[in-house]
Amino acid sequence: MTSTTVTTASPATAVGEALAPSGPRPRRAGAVAASLSFGWRALLKIKHVPEQLFDVTMFPIMFTLMFTYLFGGALAGSTEAYVQFLIPGILVQTVVMITMYTGLTLNKDIEKGVFDRFRSLPIWRPAPLVGALLGDVARYTIASVIVMVLGLLLGFRPAGGVLGVVAAVALLLLFSFAMSWVWTMFAMLLRTEQAVMGVSMFILFPLTFASNIFVDPATMPNWLRAFVDVNPISQLVTAIRGLMAGDVTAAQLGVVLAWCVGFVVLFGPITMRLYNRRT
């Protein structure tokens, strides 16, 4: 007489086997795919909280109209003449100013513990940060379109044509993406959104107002002009004016691209080191 032993799987094991996916394990997402996924997450946040677009819709309109009609007659004799000089500059100011909201958003996610969950995922480590910056590029594009449409309505006529405008906006988006790494660094260093905003404004106000956005630096005192000439915002405005006018030089583009590379190379690794330590 033989006895047969029947082994019965525990309920937990049976449930685990039922829930386990069949087939080979999915491949780990690459750097590009992971970054694009987090970029899509940033866009979905805008979809569910459309108030986030207030800064990229109302600020461009307010800045453009206010500076055109406040300074146009005094600086150029008429708003029609001044708008030809102002629009490329106000385009830069509008987009560069809203880059600081990248740091505010990241700081909020960090304080909520969201990035602790991202760190546990088997993905390229910088993907959450790169994706957030890519998502913000969509916001910068919206602001750029609003400024250009309003500028055309006010009488702005770029001699460089459509290609010049598209190239200028593309250069601005690249610069803004690179500069946003500065604010991601502050998002890691500072503990509150208010602190991130305060430091960002402290840096951005001198860079944007002590520049060639509103007036020709030739009218400035020598000590101030020396700063304006090396200001990256001034160099960006010069290149964008050149692209829109159709007379940009390779040197002007090279300087701006060098600033873009410098921002990413310098602040990208610092941000990642702070990100790894903080999370």
Residue showing tokens 């304080």: 111
How confident is the model over 131-172, as pLDDT tens digits?
A: 888 888 888 998 899 999 999 999 999 999 999 999 999 999
Residue-level pLDDT at 179: 93
Q: Which residues contact 87 (CB under 8 A, 6 or more apart)?
A: 64, 147, 148, 151, 154, 156, 244
> Angle 259-89-176 (CA atoms, 0-180°, nearest 5)?
35
Residue-level pLDDT at 15: 45
Residue-level pLDDT at 12: 47
Q: How far apart are CA 17 and CA 46, in angstroms?
A: 39
Confidence of residue 52 (pLDDT cuts 50, 70, 90): low
Q: Please choose, from the candidates 77, 248, 97, 76, the residue with its C-alpha nearest in 3D space to the C-alpha of residue 161.
A: 248
Region for residue 5 given its phi and psi (left: phi exceeds 0; alpha: psi -120 to 50; beta: otherwise):
beta
Percent of the chain residues past pLDDT 70, beyond the cut: 86
Q: What share of the chain is helix, strand, coil (3-state, %, to 5)?
A: 80, 0, 20
Q: Please choose, from the candidates 179, 177, 181, the residue with its C-alpha nearest in 3D space to the C-alpha of residue 140.
A: 177
* For range 122-136, the mean pLDDT: 81
Residue-level pLDDT at 1: 45
Mean pLDDT computed over every residue of the chain: 83
Long-range contacts, stretch 163-166, CB < 8 angstroms, 24+ apart: 164/243, 164/244, 164/245, 164/246, 165/243, 165/244
Q: Please choose, from the candidates 234, 75, 73, 63, the residue with its C-alpha nearest in 3D space to the C-alpha of residue 151.
A: 63
Which tokens in the block code for residue 168?
């200028």
Q: Which residues contact 112 (CB under 8 A, 6 or more apart)?
A: none
Q: Please choose, from the candidates 130, 132, 131, 139, the residue with its C-alpha nearest in 3D space to the C-alpha of residue 94.
A: 139
Residue-level pLDDT at 226: 93
200 or 123, which is more confident? 200
Region for residue 23 given its phi and psi (left: phi exceeds 0; alpha: psi -120 to 50; beta: otherwise):
left
SS3 state of residue 220: coil
Three-class HEC string of 54-80: HHHHHHHHHHHHHHHHHHHHHHHCCHH
Confidence of residue 24 (pLDDT cuts 50, 70, 90): low
Q: Are 118 and 28 in contact (CB under 8 A)?
A: no
- In the chain, domain spans: 30-278
pTM over cut 0.75: yes
